Amino acid sequence: MTVNTVLTPSMTSSNSMSSGYCSLDDESEDFTFFTAKTSFFRKPKHAAKNEAKEEEEGRTKTLSEEEVRTRIDDYNSQVSENGMKLASDGSYTGFIKVNLRLSRPVTVPATDRRGRPASEGQEGTDCGQNEKRTSFYLPCDCVKQLHISSATTAREVIQGLLKKFMVLDNPRKFALYRQTHRDGQYLFQKLPLCERPLLLRLIAGPDPEQLSFVLKENETGEVEWHAFSVPELQNFLVILGKEEAERVRTVEQRYAAYRQKLQQALRQHDP
């Protein structure tokens, strides 16, 4: 699976990640920004089995070889480039575009002054534990174009995108959604991890209004706080503290301006 960059008006550079940089103290180690909504939680075994069963039932049905051939011909007749190619074994390859709409920062390796990972060149370093990390906001509505096959699953698409951006967060913290435009509004549906995005693209056709893919945080139900480690819980407090301070500052500025207008009106009417 190859990943190509597609620039959008809101994205100024395809490989410069410094525009969205946000981190804790550079000296802190192994600190990762997580939120209650973006984290995966431990589930009972029976819940995991039920989830797998629901994913299998919700998976798009397979097309016959004749249907695939007909749909590919129809699909390629509607595009001027990046069409789908049918292989002799019945599989096919093509391109999909994924919009990245993440509201929370992701965790990436810390870099040195040369822009290389801080752990690069260091012998005897366990990258899984001792690697320094920073948090990073991905550009809003960044679009990535992926070259995948008919066998590529939504799980593999998520993993490929995270690898492209060197994101260290667990892939289960993210989900791939299908977006459709209907009756003047956009509808989102979370795709099962076993779903095949290229098959959906083939069935829907190349029109992005009919179907587009979006990577978002994996929305879950109730938060199981015991499933988080102490560093994760500490990061919750840091994020909430920053959000609270920003909200307080906004409210104070608003009422300061309101007080100033009231005092000005009183002076104008003071006999």
Q: Could you tell me if 198 and 75 lie in one domain?
A: yes
DSSP state of 90: S
**Best CA proximity match to 199, nearest among 98, 96, 97:** 96
Same domain, residue pair 77 and 153: yes
The predicted-structure confidence for 87-112, as pLDDT tens digits, reads as follows: 999 999 999 999 999 888 888 887 66
Closest of 107, 110, 134 to residue 122, by C-alpha: 110
DSSP state of 170: -
The CATH code of the domain that includes 172 is 3.10.20.90
Query: What pLDDT does 206 receive?
Result: 93
Shared domain for 233 and 200, answered yes or no, is: no
Q: What is the pLDDT of residue 159?
A: 94
Residue-wise pLDDT tens digits, 49-91: 555 555 555 567 788 999 999 999 999 999 998 899 999 999 9
| Whether the Cβ atoms of residue 208 and residue 174 lie closer than 8 Å to each other | no
Residue 159, judged by CB atoms within 10 A of its CB (0-12, 13-18, 19+), counts as middle
Judge whether residue 34 has pLDDT over 90: no
Longest dimension (CA), the chain: 93
Note whether 210 and 237 are same-domain residues: no
CA distances for 162 relative to 17, 82, 111, angstroms:
14, 23, 17
Same domain, 215 and 256: no
| pLDDT of res. 124 | 40
Structural domain harbouring 243: 229-271
Tell whether the model's pLDDT for residue 219 goes beyond 80: no
Residue 147, pLDDT above cutoff 50: yes
Tokens of 62: 């397979």
Q: What is the mean pLDDT of the chain?
A: 76
Distance CA 12, CA 211 (A): 25
Share of residues in the chain with pLDDT > 70 (%):
67
Give burial (CB, 10 Å; 0-12/13-18/19+) of 144.
buried
Whether residues 104 and 179 share a domain: the answer is: yes
Rounded CA gap, 44 and 41, in Å?
Answer: 10
Whether residue 144 contacts residue 161, with contact meaning beta carbons closer than 8 Å, is answered with yes
pLDDT on residue 51: 53
- pLDDT category, 221, cuts 50, 70, 90? low
pLDDT at 7 over 80: no
Q: Are 76 and 90 in contact (CB under 8 A)?
A: no
Assess whether 127 and 249 both reside in one domain: no
What was the pLDDT predicted at 142?
A: 86
Could you tell me if 198 and 234 lie in one domain? no
Q: Are residues 169 and 235 in the same domain?
A: no
Claim to verify: residue 32 and residue 152 sit in the same structural domain: yes
Residue 264 has pLDDT above 70, yes or no: yes
pLDDT value at 37 more than 70: no
**Same domain membership, residue 34 and residue 10:** yes
Residues 134 and 262 in one domain: no
Identify the domain boundary among 225, 243, 263. Answer: 225
Domain count, the chain: 2
Q: What angle do CA 109, 112, 118 make, to 5 degrees?
A: 45
Least confident of 147-156, 164-173, 223-232: 223-232
Cα separation values, 52 from 56, 61, 118, 172, 194, Å: 6, 16, 38, 14, 9
pLDDT at 38: 42
DSSP one-letter string for 137-159:
PPPTTEEEEEEEETT--HHHHHH
